[in-house]
Amino acid sequence: MIQYTAVAFMLSVRRDPVLSRFSATDRFFAGLRVATLAVGAVWLQLAPHLPYRRPLAGLLAASAVYSLLIYSLILRTRWPVARIYLVTALIDLLFLFRLVRWAGDASGVFVLGFYLLVALHSFYFGRRVGLLIAAVAAVLLVLAGLNVSPSEPWFYSLVRVGFLFVTASSTGLLADRERQARQRAEQLLEELKNTTRMLEQAQKMALIGRLTAGIAHEINNPAAVVLTRVARMLLESEERGYSADLKQDLVTLQNHARRVAGVVQKMLTYSRPDASGFSPLNINEVIQQSMPLIEHRLKNRQLTLNLNLLQRLPRIYGNANRLEEVFVNLLTNAIDASSPGGQIYIVSTITGGPDKAVQVFVSDGGEGISPENLDKIFEPFFTTKPPGDGTGLGLYITYQILSDHRASVSVDSETGKGTSVSIRFPLLKDAMHSSLLPPAGAR
């Protein structure tokens, strides 16, 4: 009857919505407990000449109730599952110790339960905790009646105890390595997801670039015609004495037409890769040359710019003027996002591992970017600034310039806590062996 009650409990909790805490390992442990209770019940019925049949039946019933309590705690409370299992491991050892004492002595079959418990918990917790449980099991095994007799040399008993530690050490070592391999696999999977996301973004931006180039060509000619006609009308207004209001309207039209032409020119310039003007350079020098262009904005907003540039940084291959524009765009966005008195950081370093690269971080503690906008920030004309404060081309142009340099860019941002932009440039020796080199005569 005990095993049927345990099985019914397991079937009922499978339909419970809180089973998200009930992992595959938990189900395995629960199944093992059910099987142990079932075997114990059968053994109790069939084993002859048991001097402690009633206490053993009570112990088995207590174990069933105790097992139900364990999984009720796991399913119904927020207690850490590992902590529950650590406590239950010690209680299980005490149950087993009492079972061995009542069923015979340490030479009986139930002694194998010590090895099973040590192996299971060594696999679950790792080698260190497994050895601790093995030490407790060894003490209980000795107390249970591990006697030395003339028919059994003392080192036989020592081997039995020693196998507890061998079991804990070997099983725990396998578990630790399996856990490390799983973590490494999860890390590689996350890296693959990030790489796939970056590849999708690059393909998306390449398509947008081609569409933008086509649209820009279509807008460029009408914009040039509008500028020409407005210029002629301004000349005529001087000759024919048009009113001041009309002249002012014409000047306004001319300014906006020039703005349209400027935007179109930027779209045409950065919608296609251009390797002209590339040369070996130090990214630290490029960053420092960008500072005078944004110093006045930093002072106006009372912001502090912190430079932490790694000395003797390997050189990269690129266009200094275009990379200056990258850092000006990034710093401008950081300034706009920061509150007065805030801090902005620029850090340059070199990544470790086999694929070394020069890495630059531009970070601020500003308002951050909302998750729904994070994937859109490099799209042309996307901006969260008020109308008239930005064209939405700054980060798009930044992305195109970095793509031309074979540099990867990623953004980490949290609303209300700031934004960090990470850029990875290939080293000079890697760039010189890639398609980043411009054709002969292009420099």
Kindly report, residue by residue over 222-246, the tens digit of the pLDDT.
777 788 888 888 887 777 777 777 8
- Residues 55, 48, 35: CA angle, nearest 5 degrees: 65
User: Per the structure block, which two tokens stand in for 36?
Assistant: 């142990």
| Residue 434 confidence (pLDDT) above 60 | no
| CATH class name, domain 275-438 | alpha beta
pLDDT of residue 331: 92
Helix or strand (DSSP H, E) at 294 = none
Instruction: Sort strands 343-350 and 357-364 into parallel, antiparallel or unpaired.
Output: antiparallel
In whole angstroms, what is the distance from residue 117 CA to residue 110 CA? 12
Which has the higher per-residue pLDDT, 438 or 269?
A: 269
**Per-residue pLDDT band at 375 (split at 50, 70, 90):** confident
**Per-residue pLDDT band at 275 (split at 50, 70, 90):** low
pLDDT of residue 76: 76
What is the overall mean pLDDT for the chain?
A: 77
**Per-residue pLDDT band at 420 (split at 50, 70, 90):** very high
**Per-residue pLDDT band at 283 (split at 50, 70, 90):** very high
pLDDT of residue 206: 66
Residue ranges covered by each domain of the chain: 2-192, 275-438
| Cβ atoms of 402 and 392 closer than 8 Å | no
In whole angstroms, what is the distance from residue 56 CA to residue 190 CA? 52
Closest CA to 287 of 270, 304, 269, 308: 308
| Residue 163 confidence (pLDDT) above 80 | yes
| Residue 271 confidence (pLDDT) above 60 | no
pLDDT of residue 315: 92
In whole angstroms, what is the distance from residue 218 CA to residue 304 CA? 43
**Per-residue pLDDT band at 349 (split at 50, 70, 90):** very high
